[in-house]
């Protein structure tokens, strides 16, 4: 994987914590920053995807879909399931 050098400005406390973590983990400081960025990016993408999924489900159900959903809920209740859709 190609690496790119960059200069960033961060709060001193973050720099110190990064230094401490790198020392504890015995890895370069840049690797700590890369790991943190990877996690941030993944969480960002997950939140974005969740918003898109929720937006898709905000579309009101058609009358047929609503009827089917109510039948499924009723059936689930009769089965004694705790979870109801």
Residue 4 lies in a domain: no
Residue 5 lies in a domain: no
Identify the pLDDT of residue 4: 93
Is residue 67 classed as helix, strand or coil in its secondary structure? helix
Residue 69 lies in a domain: yes
Quick: pLDDT tens for 68-82.
888 998 888 888 755
Residue 37 lies in a domain: yes
Residue 75 lies in a domain: yes
Residue 43 lies in a domain: yes
Regions of the chain with pLDDT less than 70: 81-85
> Based on the structure, what is the number of domains in the chain?
1
Residue 72: count of CB within 10 angstroms of its CB: 12
Cα gap 81→75, rounded to integer Å: 9
Identify the pLDDT of residue 24: 98
Half-sphere exposure of 27 (CA within 13 A, CB side): 9
Q: Which residue range is the domain that position 73 belongs to?
A: 12-79
Identify the pLDDT of residue 2: 92
Identify the pLDDT of residue 81: 58
């Amino acid at each position: 994987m190609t690496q790119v050098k960059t200069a960033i400005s961060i709060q001193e406390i973050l720099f110190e914590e990064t230094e401490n973590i790198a020392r504890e983990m015995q890895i370069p400081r840049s690797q700590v920053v890369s790991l943190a960025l990877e996690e941030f990016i993944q969480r960002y993408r997950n939140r974005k995807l969740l918003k898109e999924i929720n937006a898709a489900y905000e579309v009101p159900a058609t009358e047929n879909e609503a009827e089917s959903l109510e039948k499924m809920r009723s059936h689930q209740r009769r089965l004694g399931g705790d979870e109801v859709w």
